Chain A
Amino acid sequence: DGGITQSPKYLFRKEGQNVTLSCEQNLNHDAMYWYRQDPGQGLRLIYYSQIVNDFQKGDIAEGYSVSREKKESFPLTVTSAQKNPTAFYLCASSIWGIDNEQFFGPGTRLTVL
Chain B
Amino acid sequence: GQNIDQPTEMTATEGAIVQINCTYQTSGFNGLFWYQQHAGEAPTFLSYNVLDGLEEKGRFSSFLSRSKGYSYLLLKELQMKDSASYLCATGDTDKLIFGTGTRLQVFP
- Cα distance, A90 to B45, chains bound together (Å): 14
Q: Is the CB of A107 within 8 A of B45?
A: no
Q: Is the CB of B31 within 8 A of A98?
A: yes
- Report if A17 contacts B (CB, 8 A): no
Q: Which residues of A contact B96 (CB under 8 A)?
A: 45, 98, 102
Q: Is the CB of A98 within 8 A of B99?
A: no
Q: Is the CB of A42 within 8 A of B87?
A: yes
- Report if A69 contacts B (CB, 8 A): no
Q: Is the CB of B30 within 8 A of A107?
A: no
Q: Is the CB of B95 within 8 A of A42?
A: no
- Cα distance, A109 to B40, chains bound together (Å): 9
- Report if A48 contacts B (CB, 8 A): yes
Tell me which of A88, A98, A101 contacts B45 (CB under 8 A): A101
- Cα distance, A56 to B42, chains bound together (Å): 23
- Report if A58 contacts B (CB, 8 A): yes
- Report if B60 contacts A (CB, 8 A): no
Q: Is the CB of B95 within 8 A of A104?
A: no
- Report if A25 contacts B (CB, 8 A): no
Identity of the chain B residue whose Cβ is nearest the Cβ of A90 in the assembled complex: B42
Of listed A33, A44, A58, A99, residue having the most chain B CB within 10 A: A99
Tell me which of A40, A41, A98, A106 contacts B95 (CB under 8 A): A98
- Report if A105 contacts B (CB, 8 A): yes
Q: Which residues of A contact B8 (CB under 8 A)?
A: 40
Q: Is the CB of B94 within 8 A of A98?
A: yes
Identity of the chain A residue whose Cβ is nearest the Cβ of B43 in the assembled complex: A104
Given A41-B101, A43-B87, A104-B43; 9 other pairs, CB 8 A cutoff: A33-B95, A41-B100, A42-B4, A42-B101, A44-B98, A50-B94, A58-B95, A98-B92, A98-B96
B contact set with A: CB distance below 8 Å: 4, 8, 30-31, 33, 40-45, 48, 50, 87, 89, 91-101
